[in-house]
Structure 1
Amino acid sequence: MKKTLAVLAAALAFSAHAADKLSIGATAVPHAEILEFVKPTLAKQGVDLDIKVFTDYVQPNVQVAEKKLDANFFQHKPYLDEFNKGKGTNLVTVAGVHVEPFGAYSTKFKKLADLPAGGTVAIPNDATNGGRALLLLDKAGVITLKDKKNILATPKDIAQNPKKLKFKELEAATLPRILNQVDLALINTNYALEAKLNPSKDALAIEGKQSPYVNILVARPDNKDSAAIKKLAAALNSPETKQFIETKYNGAVVPAF
């Protein structure tokens, strides 16, 4: 009888431990770094955070939808909405964490006014970040869009292009690597930071801190209210995490809570 109870207790202990393991997909900078910061706090609360680093914006969502991951942290809501619509998934926002002001970069020119006629501009090829890039260029006066509120704008939606700039739509992760091959590239801050670019110093144009593109913790409807996910959300929105973001990224990443 004692042996049976011991086996049962061990099984229950294993089940509790397994239930508290949380696998989360993230891009390396700053998302995985922020998750590494909260990992010890979560461990003290009985949550074993398993961080999987990705270099693209598709697989982290696919793997959460397929239940290969519990959650992810790499994207903003406009991107998630477009992904859900296009892929037929129903991933949900758990918490907003930070904003990464989107920037325009060049290794050839010091200001946007110096861009040459017929120059080449690289932008992300996913709908939301491509639109975000064009909205930034519109705000900076480089182009004029037909609709300044269209977050899914494409180069076809440009009404005025005084310098007759040519637009290349490429995978977001590749943009830092081809920066020296184009006149201007619009780069997501996580990839800019990975490439050792300093958004606050190197960007020729950058979004304001009131950007609507808040990076979010994402899960599924079936697990978004689990105890482990709630603990992770609370840790990501803690005063300690806010201070960590402000200190480590010095304005390149801005807390949104």
Structure 2
Amino acid sequence: MQRASHHSRVNATVVLNRRSVLATVAFTLAAVTGLVGCGSDTQVDYETAGGSGDSLVVYVGAGDDREILEYAVENLLPASVKIELVDASEDSNGKVAAGDGDLSFYQHIPAFEADLGTHSYDNLSIVSKVNVVPYGLYSSTWKDVKDTESWVNVGLVADEVTGQSLPHGSQVVLPATSTGFARGLYLLQSAGLVKLDRPFGGTSAVDLTITQANVLDSLRHLTLLGLGYDDYLQSLYENYDAVVLNPDDAASIGLTPAEDALAIEPGPGNPYAHVLVAPSRLAGDQRVLELARALESPELAQFLETKFRGANIPVAAAESE
């Protein structure tokens, strides 16, 4: 089953009319109460980029990021908010820092932090953690990761298998890249299959590049194999007990995370969350608060679930459940 296609490639600017702001408040969303509710009467006009007025100019990435932001703007904001969506480029953070745009939404946390480190932007911060493109664990043989007494690949004795849960002794393939292997390890820990020397969620270079040396205990006695996928993905999926895949790799062999994954990376606390970034000059801007609230809402979470079928999952909305 192929992953749902992305229909949103709008090059025009999305503009929505907004009411005047009621008050200036801090970016901390927990402190915000009584925000204006979302209505179905939101009017959308498509104009060219660079419009004037009270519009917030948001640099947005292509593909899923744009589709997610467009959905929030068109469906979840008060009827009075004006938002311009402009295609992001590598220097979009710099433009926001310099005042040539208001917000950016095109990167995950490690990419943003690396950009901060390179350019020393001291006036930018994350105001919303929105979505994650999660790695998943897939198997052509086993159906879940529930506790089991089954064993395979022992060698000296015959396999002892009852049920369809991933057995002890399974051979699990992870991406050979440092990032992919590390995310695979954290995924296995979140599924209760291994125990690492650190929790999930750190964004330091050390946290993001852990190896087998960081495995304290393989609770399912797994053999972990870091392999290059190249053109052999289907063969790896068919010939090993399980394989860790990102959504694009899964889709390439007909797999959908929501239906086929034995386990998926969690959204809450995920260091690879895609983020909305704002400058300090917009601290307390009600429009930014409203946009962040929309991006972290249960309605946005439901949109992700319906549209992407596990290939893009919510962060903050899941945390509030």
Shared fold by TM > 0.5? yes
Q: Verify the 8 A CA contact 1:95 1:218 in the aligned structure 2.
A: yes
Query: Following TM superposition, by how much is the alpha carbon of 1:122 offset from its aligned partner in structure 2, in angstroms?
Result: 0.8
From 198, 201, 225, give the equivalent of 2:256: 198
From 158, 175, 178, give the equivalent of 2:215: 158
Aligned pairs (5 A) from 1:6-85: 17=52, 20=55, 22-26=57-61, 28-29=63-64, 31-40=65-74, 45=80, 47-52=82-87, 62-67=91-96, 70-74=102-106, 77=109, 80-81=112-113, 84-85=116-117
Percent of pairs with identical residues: 24
Aligned pairs (5 A) from 1:226-237: 226=285, 229-237=288-296
Based on CA coordinates, which of the two structures has the bigger radius of gyration? 2
Q: Which runs of 5+ in 2 are unaligned?
A: 1-49, 146-165, 238-242
Q: Of Structure 1 and Structure 2, which has the larger fraction of its residues in helix?
A: 1
Alpha-carbon distance in 2 for matches of 1:221, 1:179: 45
- Superposed CA deviations along residues 30-59 of structure 1, whole A, max 9, x for unmatched, are x32221213336695352422437xxxxx6
* TM-score, reference length from structure 1: 0.60
Q: What SS does the aligned partner of 2:280 have?
A: coil
Number of equivalenced pairs: 227
CA shift in 2, pair 1:21/1:140, >3 Å: closer
Alpha-carbon distance in 1 for matches of 2:308, 2:59: 22
Query: Following TM superposition, by how much is the alpha carbon of 1:246 offset from its aligned partner in structure 2, in angstroms?
Result: 4.9
Alpha-carbon distance in 1 for matches of 2:201, 2:129: 22
Alpha-carbon distance in 1 for matches of 2:86, 2:262: 33
Q: Which runs of 5+ in 1 are unaligned?
A: 1-14, 54-58
Q: Verify the 8 A CA contact 1:21 1:47 in the aligned structure 2.
A: yes
CA shift in 2, pair 1:181/1:157, >3 Å: farther
Aligned pairs (5 A) from 1:158-237: 158-159=215-216, 162-168=221-227, 179-180=233-234, 182-183=236-237, 184-187=243-246, 191=248, 197-208=255-266, 211-213=268-270, 215-223=274-282, 225-226=284-285, 229-237=288-296
Q: What SS does the aligned partner of 1:39 have?
A: helix
Q: Verify the 8 A CA contact 1:94 1:224 in the aligned structure 2.
A: no
CA shift in 2, pair 1:240/1:207, >3 Å: closer
